[in-house]
Amino acid sequence: MLQVPESDQAETEKEAQSSDQPRQLTYTQLVLCAALIGAVGGLVATIYYFVLEFMMHGMWHTTPDFLEPYFPSWLPTQNYVWIATTVGGFCVGLVLYFMGLPGEMAQVVDNIHSPGKIDVRKTPAMIIASLVAITSGGSAGPEAPLVQVNGSFGSWLGEKLKLSGESVRVLTFCGMSAALGAFFGAPIGAALFALEIPHRKGLEYYEAIAPAIVSAILSFAVFRINTGITIGGFYHFETVPALTPMNLFEGLVLGVIGAGIAVMFIGVFRLIGQLLEPLEHYRIALATLGGLSIGLIAFAFPQTLFFSEEQIHTVIETGATLGISFLLMIAVAKMFAISFTLHSGFLGGFIFPLFFIGANVGLAISLAVPQVHPTVGMVCLMAAVNVAVTKTPVSSSIILSVLSGTAMLPVIVIASFTSFLLTSKVTMIGTQRSRSTESLVISAMSAQPDLVASLQQVAGPPPPALRLNEPLS
């Protein structure tokens, strides 16, 4: 019988063990993967954008124009709003019933912590369900679906390359950043938002910052080139005079008010969740009821329809003509619209809806207290409300500074961190948590493999595991 030399056998075992070990990318390879994810993410966001625009135009322009002559005299055409949202809710329920629940932001956050990746198999359900939900007028935007779709692509790429768990998580963050980079138009702020959202007390996955920013920049560039959307401030606020120390104090006060508004919203959100809980397992009925509720709210307050990216323009341009009371009523109505949207199965993100609430309340404050400039009031409340819910003070400040095209960053930061600190014990995304100690150790080992190998040589082989049924010698 042929005997294999012990040295060759040991070498073969060593090669087999090394082939089973996860791969580690060099920094250059990591950046190239991040760039690839960013480019793909920009293309995905572009396709999603054009499909969503086509569906929105068909449902809210082409279809109403076609049906208008057929409306009976006793039913004014304004009723199309709640009819369309109810039918849309029924369609959302059908998609969820047959394709299953693809998850929402809380589940994405949980998956980022453990196992550090997003399941790509849920992508088809997320794309279809979110397109139907957003088209149907729900108060939720495309950022959450894009985060899950592009994040799952980053996870898939990491698994195909047989990378370590920590490296897969970094590529998942790159996909999330690519989604937000295209959506927000502020690449650095978008990347930081993706890294802040898993936590309650600030960014912790620091090793993903540079790759995530690379992905966000590439996605931003691809998306803007393909769509032709301009670069720079998206909202055209009234110009703010030179900032003074009084503006800093205003940012502090507005941060306190924004924290209170956010707590009120979270209370409404939990209340609606409790009311709809008995229908949790009846997806079609729940989504249909949600669509009806969204439509009835929009019938009374048309400003609450959709995810509010465009509606914020209306607040800036004509909101002052509505008066203080009506602006506050719109903000409260939007809280209920968001709550019915998310609890009834309509998939999407709530960042711009939160911005919308803040803009209305901020403008109302500036009308009540003329010393507060309208732009200061709106932007600071937009930041404070969003930060209190999402726990993203750094990224939200940067994003709003870019979107508003103002030099108000110091005031926005004060409002954001005031709200953040005041609401540290109040959470809406229950899966947000600190990075685990185990994750930090794995990250350190991945970053310094040579050091770990040296320590293992010095320490020698580990002792054999003690079994419970073996006696102590």
Q: What are the DSSP calls for 49-72, one per residue?
A: HHHHHHHHHIIIIIHHHHHGGGS-
191 pLDDT band, cuts 50/70/90, is very high
By the 8 A CB rule, do 428 and 269 touch?
yes
d(CA 197, CA 365): 29
Torsion from C-alpha of 78, 83, 89, 93, nearest 10 degrees: -170
Taken in order of first residue, the domains within the chain and their CATH numbers are: 27-227 (1.10.3080.10), 245-422 (1.10.3080.10)
More confident: 195 or 2: 195
Query: What's the pLDDT score for residue 473?
Result: 34
Residue 469 reports pLDDT greater than 50: no
By the 8 A CB rule, do 186 and 167 touch?
no
d(CA 146, CA 131): 11
**Residue range 265-292: average pLDDT?**
95
Taking only the tens place, the pLDDT of each residue in 122-170 is 888 899 999 999 999 999 989 889 999 999 999 999 999 999 989 999 9
d(CA 80, CA 303): 15
d(CA 346, CA 306): 11
Residue 235 reports pLDDT greater than 70: yes
CB-hemisphere CA count at 13 Å for 204?
18
The pTM of this model reads 0.87
By the 8 A CB rule, do 173 and 198 touch?
no
Q: What is the mean pLDDT of the chain?
A: 87
At how many degrees (to 10) do helices 187-196 and 209-227 cross? Answer: 130
Q: How much of the chain exceeds pLDDT 70, in percent? A: 88
Which helix (DSSP H) or strand (DSSP E) does residue 225 occupy?
helix 209-227
Window from 105-109, 220-224, 404-408 with minimum mean pLDDT: 404-408
Q: How much of the chain exceeds pLDDT 90, in percent? A: 68
Residue 188 reports pLDDT greater than 50: yes
d(CA 470, CA 60): 73
Query: What's the pLDDT score for residue 248?
Result: 94
> What six digits make up the tokens of 346?
């309509």
d(CA 307, CA 146): 15
Query: What's the pLDDT score for residue 444?
Result: 47
Query: What's the pLDDT score for residue 458?
Result: 42
CA distances from 18 to 13, 167, 256, 277, 323 (A): 9, 17, 55, 50, 69
CA distances from 89 to 248, 274, 346 (A): 44, 19, 8
